[in-house]
């Protein structure tokens, strides 16, 4: 298939590489990009020549997260109704739409590796976390800055499954991690200098690709099943419910500031106390 927002390549080494490809906008996760990513992943799942899938970002970063430009509009929601305005219906459609895409990755039979560099923020951090492995660059900035001023985070509960109680709480209060900290706290499997990230991720993927496909599928499922039993899926879906509630908080400054000074200026001002993102 041809795509507008992603690039999908299949190598002779059994690896499919899917690149988020709006580098001039820092690869925002709009609904079209998410839909194309979902389709490409399912295509790779059906391709008998593909053993391992890598998701990465073009340009300066993996992704800065959900597309705030179009995502604010109810008309852009996957099940949205513009006439409902800022409603429970549209809020749940927005949040659950994101979570559904993440669990499609969780449910794939083939291993998916997130190759993460530069910014990996908000929804992009959720995407990276739901992948089976994360290989990250030292220069990465990883976290959920909108939790400082906008919403609790669609699937932010997944942080606790990686990092534990205290770090997950601090991140839910606005902390953003470096690549090395991601490795230290359990988000990443490996951390490399940015100029070695592509090479090292490929080495890891090629090693995994030597394992028979059916064995890979069973190995992934047995680990995921364990975490399903422990409650990961329910925890993440509960995150979405709290995120929807936060959309209706009357004291949040984000929307008013966007109306007054514009999106970019609002984001800059709201992140100033944290030294930016």
Per-residue pLDDT at 73 exceeds 60: no
Q: What is the mean pLDDT of residues 58-74?
A: 83
Boundaries of every domain in the chain: 6-274
pLDDT score, position 88? 82
Indicate the pLDDT class of residue 205, thresholds 50, 70 and 90. Answer: very high
Task: Determine the 3-state secondary structure of 41 from DSSP.
Answer: helix
**Number of C-alpha atoms within 13 angstroms, CB side, residue 34?**
26
pLDDT, tens digit (0-9, with 9 covering 90-100), for 226-245? 999 999 999 999 999 999 99
User: By 3-state DSSP, what share of the chain in percent is helix, strand and coil, each rounded to 5?
Assistant: 55, 15, 30
pLDDT in tens, 132-163: 999 999 999 999 999 999 899 999 999 999 99
Mean pLDDT of 67-75: 65
Query: Per-residue pLDDT for 85 more than 70?
Result: no
DSSP state of 145: G
Strand-pairing partners, residue 54, are: 17, 113
* Rg, C-alpha atoms of the chain: 18
Cα torsion at 147, 150, 154, 159 (round to 10°)? Answer: 0
pLDDT value of position 77: 62
Where are the strands (E) in the chain, listed by range? 6-10, 15-20, 52-57, 112-116, 119-121, 133-137, 141-143, 176-178, 190-192
For the chain, percent of residues with pLDDT exceeding 70? 95
Distance of CA 54 to CAs 18, 62, 123, 206, Å? 6, 12, 18, 11
Cβ neighbors of 211 (< 8 A, separation 6 or more) are 51, 219
Separation between Cα atoms, residue 112 and residue 216, nearest integer Å: 11
pLDDT tens-digit profile of 20-40?
Answer: 999 999 999 999 999 999 999
Query: 81-90, 156-165, 168-177: which range is least confident on average?
Result: 81-90
Reduced to 3 states (helix: H, G, I; strand: E, B; else coil), residue 139 is coil
Please check the confidence at residue 209 and state whether its pLDDT lies above 80. yes
The pLDDT value given to residue 47: 96
- Look at residue 187 and tell me whether its pLDDT is greater than 90: yes
CATH architecture designation of domain 6-274: Alpha-Beta Complex (3.90)
pTM score, two decimals? 0.93
Work out whether the CA dihedral 195, 28, 93, 260 comes out positive or negative.
Answer: positive
Which of 67-76, 83-92, 171-180, 238-247 has the weakest average pLDDT? 67-76
Confidence of residue 71 (pLDDT cuts 50, 70, 90): low
Burial (CB count within 10 angstroms: exposed 0-12, middle 13-18, buried 19+), residue 24: exposed
Beta-carbon count within 10 A of 253 CB: 14
């Amino acid at each position: 298939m041809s795509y507008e927002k992603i690039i999908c390549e299949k190598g002779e080494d059994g690896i499919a590489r899917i690149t988020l490809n709006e580098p001039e906008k820092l690869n925002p996760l709009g609904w079209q990009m998410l839909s194309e990513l979902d389709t490409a992943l399912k295509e790779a799942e059906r391709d008998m020549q593909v053993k391992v899938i890598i998701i990465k970002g073009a340009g300066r970063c993996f992704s800065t997260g959900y597309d705030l430009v179009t995502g604010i509009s109810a008309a852009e929601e996957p099940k949205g109704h513009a006439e409902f305005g800022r409603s429970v219906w549209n809020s749940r459609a927005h949040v659950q739409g994101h979570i559904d895409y993440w669990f499609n990755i969780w449910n794939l039979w083939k291993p998916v590796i997130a190759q993460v560099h530069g910014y990996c923020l908000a929804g992009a951090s959720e995407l990276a976390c739901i992948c089976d492995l994360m290989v990250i660059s030292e220069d990465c900035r990883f976290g959920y800055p909108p939790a400082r001023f906008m919403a609790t985070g669609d699937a932010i509960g997944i942080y606790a499954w990686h990092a534990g109680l205290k770090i997950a709480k601090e991140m839910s209060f606005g902390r953003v991690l470096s690549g090395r900290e991601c490795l230290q706290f359990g988000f990443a499997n490996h951390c490399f200098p940015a100029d070695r990230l592509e090479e090292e991720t490929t080495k890891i993927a090629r090693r995994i690709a030597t394992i028979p496909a059916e064995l890979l599928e069973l190995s992934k499922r047995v680990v995921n099943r364990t975490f399903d039993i422990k409650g990961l899926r329910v925890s993440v879906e509960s995150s979405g419910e709290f995120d929807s509630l936060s959309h209706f908080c009357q004291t949040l400054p984000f929307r008013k500031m966007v109306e007054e000074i514009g999106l970019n200026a609002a984001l800059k001002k709201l992140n100033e106390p944290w030294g930016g993102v």
